[in-house]
Amino acid sequence: MKIHALGAAAALALAGAAPAYAQSAADWTGPYVGGFVGYSTGSDDGDETLLFDKDLDGAYDDQILTPAGTNAFSPGFCGGKANTALAADGCEDDDDGFSGGVRAGYDWAVSDSFVLGVVGEVDFTNVTDSVTGFSTTPANYVFNRDLEHVAAIRARAGYATGPMLIYATGGYAMGKVENSFTTTNGANSFTATSDDDKADGYQLGGGVEYNWGGGWSLVGEYLYTSLDVDDHNIRVGPGTAPATNPFILAPNTTGTDMIRSNDSFDVHSVRVGLNYRF
């Protein structure tokens, strides 16, 4: 809802700012640089869970059982960071955040009305994506991702009418994602065995750009970013836990590997920006 409201406000502001004078697609041809600010929010992933590899065979298809044979994670899971060790107390929402960055690009007029171009940019943001599992102990197990920045190179195609360019855009994106893990379980040991902070993916979106003249133009756009994040694997070891601990029950007393079920980080962003054309 916040993204839609911000997008509508940006569109109205751009419409009010547009001067009324004749312009052709050829006036968009050439290089440009610019900057932007915006607001980003992660997709709702409330159905995400944790996955377990109890026999350490590389397949995360096991259930963690208590000595009595019941599901040790029967309290369930939630999207977000746990408020307490109890599932009944729920989880707090993921953090959205403001963003800002710089871009450079080049556009070509391929006809009287159509424009093709390429743009590269870096967007600095702060969006989190967390999931929590709850055990019967009780204890919580929280996996968190923090998107710090995204670099992208995209194509764009637009229709020029007067001082306005209406465009669609899409291309490759690479983000830096900081992974972290916390738990209220003080008995077992927890060690990250894989933690790659690079994530590859793509961006899709669209926007409008108004040429004020003198080389300056105002931009409003929406972008959807989808990044494929490598597994942040946590090895749960014996620590000081007794032999009856569900993570180290025989026949495998070494421990259990644990990951989150969703390997994508999806972000919605609205932005306003200013470009200068040479």
Report field, pTM of the whole predicted structure over 0.85:
yes
Residue carrying structure tokens 């972008």: 223
Query: Residue 100 to residues 12, 91, 125: CA-CA distances in angstroms?
Result: 21, 28, 7
Query: Residue 183 to residues 82, 98, 137, 270: CA-CA distances in angstroms?
Result: 9, 28, 12, 34
Q: How far is 233 from 49, CA to CA, in rounded Å?
A: 14
Q: How many domains does the chain have?
A: 1
Query: Residue 169 to residues 13, 193, 230: CA-CA distances in angstroms?
Result: 21, 37, 26
pLDDT of residue 10: 45
Q: How far is 277 from 85, CA to CA, in rounded Å?
A: 55
237-271: pLDDT as tens digits: 999 999 999 999 988 899 999 999 999 999 999 99
Q: How far is 123 from 203, CA to CA, in rounded Å?
A: 12
Does any domain span residue 176? yes
Helix (H) or strand (E) segment spanning residue 275:
strand 264-277
Does any domain span residue 137? yes
Residues of the chain with pLDDT below 70 are: 1-26
Does any domain span residue 74? yes
Does any domain span residue 22? no
Does any domain span residue 9? no
* Longest CA span, the chain: 79
Q: Which domain holds residue 214?
A: 27-277
What CATH code is carried by the domain that includes residue 228?
2.40.160.20
Does any domain span residue 15? no
Does any domain span residue 1? no
Does any domain span residue 16? no
